[in-house]
Structure 1
């Protein structure tokens, strides 16, 4: 019984720790530069939570409504970036 409680506690702790590990940070936002390739951006931020594509244009979003990074790509190159809710 005690081992089951320990392993359950460890699993909950690990999930909470991983939930706090987000790549949507001011530091990572500042690493993104105009003309960076999509693959370079995903190396910094991971795969986007959502993308809207239209021909050569793509708008991708990382994060949620409170904390978000938005990047516009043309031909898979960064053209514009914005953020909300990030703290320095």
Structure 2
């Protein structure tokens, strides 16, 4: 394995190759589809909902992004601890 690949892998492990960051959060927009959000952030860790409303969360207590959907479209979103 070349040193370049080793360095890249080490960097990814240290940064956890997370899609949970301020850059991706700033790309979220009201009206986006669930598919667009999941393409940006990956699969959510947790979702719950009722009556056509769904709330999905990526991350944990220290750093997270939460997205609320009406049907398939983003209505609101929030984040905490993003770098």
Q: For this structure pair, what is the TM-score category when the shorter chain's length is used for normalisation?
A: 0.7 to 0.9
Q: 2:19, 2:52 → 1: CA distance?
A: 26
Specify the structure having the higher radius of gyration (Cα).
1
Number of equivalences: 75
Task: Render the CA deviation track for 1:1-45: whole Å, top value 9, x for unaligned.
Answer: xxxxxxxxx8xx77x718711111000001110000000000000
Q: Give the TM-score normalised by structure 1.
A: 0.77
Residue aligning to 2:46: 50
| 2:59 pairs with one of 53, 60, 63 | 63
Q: TM-score, normalised by structure 2?
A: 0.81
Q: Where do 5+ consecutive residues of structure 1 fail to align?
A: 1-9
Q: CA RMSD in A?
A: 1.9
Structure 2 unaligned segments of length 5 or more: list them. 1-5
